[in-house]
Each structure stands twice: as C-alpha cells, then as structure tokens.
Structure 1
C-alpha cells in the first residue's frame, strides 16, 4: 500500500520541470533561439514547489509508525543527513575546484561573493550557495528539523502540530515583512506551506486508503480541482519573475502548492485502488531525481560552452533542434551515471552506519529533494 510509484514518478516529473525552466537561461546565454524553449517552460520553476509537497507527503508515509517513539529523532536526523549531504558534497567540491580555478564562472551575478561555509553545510546565507540549486536543499534541511521535533509528539498531536505550523507561516506572510536575516527568511518562508500541505495530504492518504475503494468520481473531482488551481496560477500570473528565494506569495503557495497536493493525493489513492499505472521512464527519473537536480545546470552549461566554442550560436532552427536534443540526452545520461556511480554507492556505504531499516524499505522516501 505504501510503496507509491506515483510519488516517485511525480518526483521525476518535478526534476524534469526544473530542467525545462533552467533551459530558458541556457538558451538565452548560448543558443539565442526564439523558437525554443517555449515560454511555458518558465512554469517549470514550480517543479521546486512540487518537490516540497512530495517531501511532506513522503515523510508522513515513511515515518507513519514512528511518532512519539523514543530514539526515533536520532534515527531520523541521521538518515536525512546521509540522504542529503554525501551526494551533495560530491557536487559541491567539484564546483569548488572550478571556483578556485575560474571564480568568474561561478555565480557571476554575485561577483564571486559566496559564503563557502554556509554552502558546504546548507545553511541560510545572504547570497546564493556555490552550487546554486542547493538553495532549495536549505529549505529541506529546515523542514526536516521541524519534522524531527514533530516526530517527538504522540500520533494524536501530529495533525495539531502541522496545523499550528501552517497558521504561523500564514500569519508571518500576512503581517510581517520579509526578514533580512537569512535564517528568519527561511523559517518564515511560504515554501513551508507546501511541505505542510504534502504532510497533511499524507495524513489524509493514510486514513482514506484504509477505507473501501474511494469513489472514482470523488478522486476525479479532487484531481480536477488540483488542475484548476494550477491553471489559475498560470492565467493569473502567480508564477512570475519575482525572487522566490526571498519570498513567494500566499496565492502561489495555495494555488500551486495546493494544486499539486490535490493531484498527488488523487494519484496516490488511484494507485492504492489499483487504478493507476506509472510510466517506467518517469519512475526511473524519480529514482535518479536527486542526481538530476544537482547535475543538470552543470551539464547544460557544459553543452552550451561546447556549442559556443564550435561557433554554432544562431545556427537556425535545425541547429536549435540538434543542440537541445543533444543537451537533454546529456542531462539524462549524466544524471543516470551519477545515480548509479555516485548516489547509490554512497547510500550503500552509509548503510554501514545502521540507517533504520524502515527508511530503506519505504521506496517513496528515496530522493526527498
């Protein structure tokens, strides 16, 4: 019941959405094509919103029987540490070497102003991390710390704890300005709402999946409502060019995060009722989504520099097709090799530290980023 391929496929979709979003910047820098990528790829930035929702959902499913049990907080934090940091550090140090040799190539918009200690430890800072995509991991680390505290509570208090967190974030978003302090900014950021939505959906799933098969009409209505919320966010411009690292609007959190939450819950219920089959490609992409997320900008940038060095910029429609076919193939290949040669071996190695058996058995818990 709880090995949900739909969550893993959604994670793969989220990673591909982020790749699509960053394609726009690679195209502007190296390809100079107006025909591709299309402007709709800008919405791909909400792949991060989807990641946060999935993360909350997965945490509830994976640790459903651990709330209020002695010693679980230590097991949880150790498991999350080994899931996030070792693979991340491989990419951090690879980029760090480049930064030492050619600092102008890394985060040039910040003129090389990077807090290396914060980047290494995934701590909030006033500048972007050295590996830029790691800004979302900083939020994940915060979510895990709060979840660890909630894990101390008996099961009957878990819903109340998430509800209290939800109200606190809404209050902060409505009545306080975006804090200048980077720690406070992360703590009060409305992205937390999306993790909470996912956790609440996980709680709902655990209750609903134990009942007789859900009505197809009710599940379809849930999915349509989620799609409607996503469509609204597209038409209303809630996903715009504002700096999401600083803050997002409550409208975006509810429309995008809420929409994805309803879709995830609907698909999970369909799968529990044996009414949903998941594409194997998306499931595989979900398995390697962490490696894909960490590596894709580096891969796209290398492809762009090679293209530029060959003097093929502005080579027309066929040139654009060739570039993106080659680049997207390289992104998938590098991510797969990273997953097989770096991520999985590191996870196997860290199993020597007695990572809790229930984490290893809960397949949706893989790649919570």
Structure 2
C-alpha cells in the first residue's frame, strides 16, 4: 500500500491524565474523540462494503482523518502554554526537551523495535514486515520527509506509516521553543498567524505545481497551520481577558468552518483528505474548526453540556491512552485482518455493512489492551524519571490569570500539559 493509500493517519502528541494544577479533565475527552475517529477511519482498510448501508458507514468513517488535525491543534495549544509559562525560568530548554523525551521516546522506540526489528526477524507477518528503505528515516523522526522523497513507494510497513505525524510534531518542536523564548507574547501571535497563512499558501502552490500528493499532507511546513492555531489559543489564554472575546465567536467559527468543509467534500465528491479541495483550504478550515471546539470546551462551565460530554469517564480514559492506541492500532488492525478474526468468529465478511463498525470496536479494544500494557510496563517507569527534571515554575505575567478560564477554574495557575 502506498502512502497515498493511507491518507488518514495522524498525530499522537498526546499525554496521560493527571489532576495537576490547571488540568481540565474535558481536554482528555477531546483527545478521546480524536483517537476514536482516527481508529474508525483506519478500519476501512480491507473493508469492501456492498449496499447503501455499508457504503454510508464507510463514507462517514472516511472523514475521521480530521482527528489528526484535532491532535495537532491540541498539541500546539498545550505545548505552547507550557513554553509561555516557563520561558523566563532557568532550565527552560533543558526541562522542556528532557520531559518531552521521557514522554515520547520510550513508546516510540519500543514500537519501532517491535515493528522494524522483532517482527521481521520472527517472520510472523511474512513479507508485510520485511525490510523497507524508510527504516533509518523513521528512527530519526524523518518519515514524513522520506515519504515525500519516495512518491508512490511503500517506504515502511503500512502499520508504521501513522508515525509521519509524530515526525511533524518533533520537527516543529525543535524550532518552536526557540521562537517562543525569543519573541514577546503579542508579536508571537502574529508569528503564529503568519504560519497559518504560509502553510495554506504553500499547499496551494504544491497542489498547483504537482497536483495532489503526499507532500501537502505530511510536510511539517505544510501542516504547521494546525499547530499554530493551537498556539494562538494558548497565547490568547494568557492575554488580557483570556478567552472572553474568543468564546463569543467560537460557535459561529465551528459551524461556518464545518459547513465550508462539507461543501468542499461535496464539491470533491469525497471525504478523502487528498483531494485538491482538502489539500488547499480544507486542512486550514478543519484546523480552525478544531480550534473553535477547543475554545468552546475551555470556556464551558462545569455544568455545560460540552463539559459533561467530554468529561465522561470512557472518553477521558481513551484520551489518557490515546498515544499508545495511536502507536499500536494499525498493527493491531493488520493482525486482526490477517487472522480473519471477524469472518471466523462472527461470520462477518469485509462486504458486510457492519464490518467496518465491528472492526473499529475490535481494533479499539485490542489496541487499548496493548496500550495499557505498554503504559504500565514502559511509559510509567520512564515518566517517574521526570522528578529529576521538574518543570520550572511559571514566572512573569504570562501564566493564565484566574479570569483566563470561566469561574477561575484554573485557580490562577498555568494550564499545563498533564504529566
């Protein structure tokens, strides 16, 4: 399967839960929604629905690639918030990169060890896990670059392809902390706005020059608009009045951008994310819609319906394990398809209208089991090492004031990335 055939993979710059200062539980629920729709879209691999019902499910699930953008926007908001709150503190760079390394690297490199070393050596998955030219690029967080340099070729086993989004985030955060450190808060908002415009213009130029391809989808400079939307939210949270003005317009922005995206999909005749419509204006519109949703969740009071929905235990748990689910779910899907679990156990063939929905449930359950194991055995032990590199105390006027969120929910403390 080529990269173009795997168009719904996405990021997982995610974190666990924790009742830390300023932590808003509903944000875990938003993460849960993001990983849920990503899993749903990927379960279309191998499905061949027949009939109107099956095709309707497939078309609905095919829009799940937007979960990628939701992850990007959340990551941009939460990481930028940490950087703004600590940039005047000693140990700013050391703390940020050390803590990020402890959170991201252990699971990432464990997964690569399993997928690129152990599985090929075992022969359990046959040729599907064989050698691929992109291996060294994945180890260096450069999979997205290799995909662009090798169009039409399968540079890694398809169950590793989702790691392109992790490459996007790590590349972005090599540069962004320095910009946050150098640029004052208000000019930084203009920088973020310029990044949104630049990403959009770059994608338009790429599509005009080469047609649709993987480049507008996977290159960091072409996808930084979603991260920058999140950064703008973090900057606004720390400004005078917090999100007071933004929350008034957020519902209209969400509705308008969603309507525009649906119109683009109708024009393209597909919800696929590799159409010219999506690769130009579509990605930015989706990012703005995701940003508006986050503003609404942040601005919602404890009794607001959004807060109640996204604070549900099930969604919060899914969000807390979303990084692990993201890393393991495509490999899990591949194994389930290879073993023909649904046809053998339930008699459900890929042509069945319920195949994709059942597959989504099965993959989600299996991925959660694997991610829970990797969380307890690998991630948690490394996270305990964070006590040796504590996050610097927020200094200056940029920590979120008590008025930054409704009802002073943050107690005047910075909104932090959990764990």
**TM-score, normalised on structure 2?**
0.71
Q: Which residue of 2 aligns with 1:59?
A: 79
In structure 2, the CA distance between the partners of 1:336 and 1:151, relative to structure 1 (3 Å rule), is same
Q: Which residue of 2 aligns with 1:203?
A: 235
In structure 2, the CA distance between the partners of 1:273 and 1:285, relative to structure 1 (3 Å rule), is same
Residue 143 of structure 1 and its aligned partner are, at CA, apart by: 1.6
Residue 229 of structure 1 and its aligned partner are, at CA, apart by: 4.2
Alpha-carbon distance between aligned partners in 1 of 2:358 and 2:199, rounded to the nearest angstrom: 46
In structure 2, the CA distance between the partners of 1:242 and 1:156, relative to structure 1 (3 Å rule), is closer
Q: Which runs of 5+ in 2 are unaligned?
A: 1-20, 148-154, 395-412
Alpha-carbon distance between aligned partners in 2 of 1:18 and 1:329, rounded to the nearest angstrom: 14
Alpha-carbon distance between aligned partners in 1 of 2:232 and 2:358, rounded to the nearest angstrom: 44
Q: 2:43 aligns with which of 8, 23, 26?
A: 23
Alpha-carbon distance between aligned partners in 1 of 2:321 and 2:62, rounded to the nearest angstrom: 23
Give the aligned CA root-mean-square deviation in angstroms: 3.9
Q: Which residue of 2 aligns with 1:354?
A: 389
Q: Which runs of 5+ in 1 are unaligned?
A: none
Q: Which residue of 1 aligns with 2:180?
A: 151
Secondary structure in 2 aligned to 1:94? helix
Q: Which residue of 1 aligns with 2:380?
A: 344
**1:141 and 2:170 aligned:** yes
Residue 23 of structure 1 and its aligned partner are, at CA, apart by: 0.3
Deviations 1:199-218 (A, max 9, x none): 1122223337647x679865
Q: Which residue of 1 aligns with 2:332?
A: 299
**1:122 and 2:141 aligned:** yes
Matches within 5 A, 1:101-120: 101-102=122-123, 105=126, 112-120=131-139
Q: Which residue of 2 aligns with 1:330?
A: 366
In structure 2, the CA distance between the partners of 1:239 and 1:62, relative to structure 1 (3 Å rule), is farther
CA contact (8 A) 1:159 1:200 kept: yes
CA contact (8 A) 1:201 1:265 kept: yes
Deviations 1:167-199 (A, max 9, x none): 4334433446579998xx73432x111111111
Aligned pairs, number? 355
Alpha-carbon distance between aligned partners in 2 of 1:18 and 1:58, rounded to the nearest angstrom: 20
Secondary structure in 2 aligned to 1:351? helix
Q: Which residue of 2 aligns with 1:172?
A: 202
